[in-house]
Amino acid sequence: MTSSAESYRTSLWSASAREPGIAPDAFTSSRSVDLAVVGGGFTGLSAALAAAERGASVALVETRTIGWGASGRNGGQVIPGLKLDPSEMRATYGEEAGSRLAEAVGSAADLVFDLIATHGIDCSPRRAGWIQAAHATTALHRVQRRGREWQALGAPVEMLDRDGVRRLTGTDAYLGGWIDRRAGTLQPLDYARGLARAAKAAGAAIHEQTRATRIVRDGDAWRVDTTNGTLTAKAVIIGQDGYADGLIPGLARSLICVQSAQVATEPMPKALRERLVPSGVCTSETRRLAFYFRQTADGRLLFGGRGAVGDAENPAFFGALVNAMHRTFPDARSLAVTHRWSGQVAMTLDGLPHIHELGPGLLVGIGYNGRGIAMGTLMGRWLVGKAFDDATLPLPITTLKPIVWHKLRTPAVHLGITWAWIRDRMGFAG
Ligand SMILES: Cc1cc2nc3c(=O)[nH]c(=O)nc-3n(C[C@H](O)[C@H](O)[C@H](O)COP(=O)(O)OP(=O)(O)OC[C@H]3O[C@@H](n4cnc5c(N)ncnc54)[C@H](O)[C@@H]3O)c2cc1C
């Protein structure tokens, strides 16, 4: 059995990256910086870039290489918003704060595509929209209500009937849905590498193969011990998402990490490229155990869904994924599957990303629930605003709370998956 962690090497993105890996900076001696960043994914890279651009001295440490975590292995669907509808944001945080949050997260995809344009990142960006496709009638009503809420706020959103989804995706498997034209797609590893290049150009030092092992208060600064030396920093930003290790006690136990797996086919012949998800849109369905799919820039069908629980990859899950792809797109049966890989998705109990401030200027942004491209990029900027300007953030800072039943997570996740499966069969929306 192979390991999910190591499947980074077999991903389509590793095989097809056009942005070269950065030349990492050598960690030659212990030193002081304004900001130390832990984690070379979208959260950490976006923070490093934003801080370096404002003239701060920045050092980012990454255990492996840039984009090795979820950032370099995801589905490349750049989706704005949170899993809460705008009305739910207002109900949860109050009219004013909820509206401010909706506005901020609603523009998260703009930030991603602006950064790509500003820094000339070679990541095949395409902004044709994201479809949330309904598998059942109750789900259709629920997501179209969501779509109408965004529409009322002026977002470029349309409701789709069955024909509309079929026209845009080439599958008849859904009853309808909505399309959010703010969204788009990219090659995620290229995007991560491009952010790293931009952060370096702005003056940030990036240290790959360097793991942060301990963070302690040292006078009015933080001392970050790493496998290659020590950083002393006024502020520390941590972006580990589904790859949280023991660095921050209790952080990994505040999340439920589940594997998401993907398969990619060989490049499709022209006739199929014009039929299967032809319009450049990306799609996820309303099932809680959702499948998601798109066509890549080089004309492959990319199909993702639930993977095994834990780090071991289970071939049966890839088999189930390929079967689901064939059910959704019967024409794909003729295509060879050339790439299979997986990664960890960090879920939170409330379905929302969390910001923790563990001491003055020691900040964590985590728990994107499978929506971390736009939100992780935005989070990095938010945390820099908090660290340097004590900005009031659109999401409240929460206390780090390990989940009490975390030791039982494997059976709990299995139970949760069974419950989600039952709800999917009953037609509830995710
Ligand atoms: C298969 C899959 C598909 C997905 N599809 C989508 C999608 O289509 N759209 C979307 O928006 N989101 C998607 N996501 C979620 C998204 O990829 C993540 O939420 C996002 O990449 C998280 O970024 P991050 O920077 O916070 O964490 P990561 O990218 O996971 O980076 C964390 C990094 O921290 C490093 N690290 C950990 N501990 C230490 C330490 N002690 N010292 C130094 N470095 C450390 C790790 O090596 C890792 O590289 C998907 C996720 C997966 C796994």
Position 2 confidence tier, pLDDT thresholds 50, 70, 90: confident
Report the nearest atom of ligand 1 relative to the CA of 368: 19
Give the model's pLDDT for residue 413. 64
What is the C-alpha to C-alpha distance for residues 284 and 149, in angstroms, rounded to an integer? 19
- Token pair in block for residue 308: 């095994």
- Token pair in block for residue 46: 């976006």
What is the C-alpha to C-alpha distance for residues 1 and 331, in angstroms, rounded to an integer? 30
What is the C-alpha to C-alpha distance for residues 222 and 230, in angstroms, rounded to an integer? 10
Mutate to test the pocket of ligand 1, among 4, 61, 71, 130 (most ligand atoms within 8 A of CB): 71
140 Cα to the center of ligand 1, angstroms: 30
CB 238 near ligand 1, within 6 Å:
no
CB 212 near ligand 1, within 6 Å:
yes
Of residues 243, 245, 242, 223, the one with CA closest to residue 234: 223
CB 226 near ligand 1, within 6 Å:
no
CB 46 near ligand 1, within 6 Å:
no
Mutate to test the pocket of ligand 1, among 60, 256, 345, 377 (most ligand atoms within 8 A of CB): 345
CB 211 near ligand 1, within 6 Å:
yes
> pLDDT tens for residues 4-41?
999 999 999 999 999 999 998 999 888 999 999 999 99
> Domains of the chain, with CATH numbers?
5-407 (3.50.50.60)
Position 423 confidence tier, pLDDT thresholds 50, 70, 90: low
CB 376 near ligand 1, within 6 Å:
yes
Is pLDDT at 114 greater than 80 in this prediction?
yes
Give the model's pLDDT for residue 382. 98
> pLDDT tens for residues 272-315?
999 999 988 999 999 877 899 999 999 999 999 988 778 888 88
CA atoms within 13 A on the CB side of 262: 30
The answer to whether the beta carbons of residues 294 and 186 sit under 8 Å apart is no
Report the nearest atom of ligand 1 relative to the CA of 239: 26
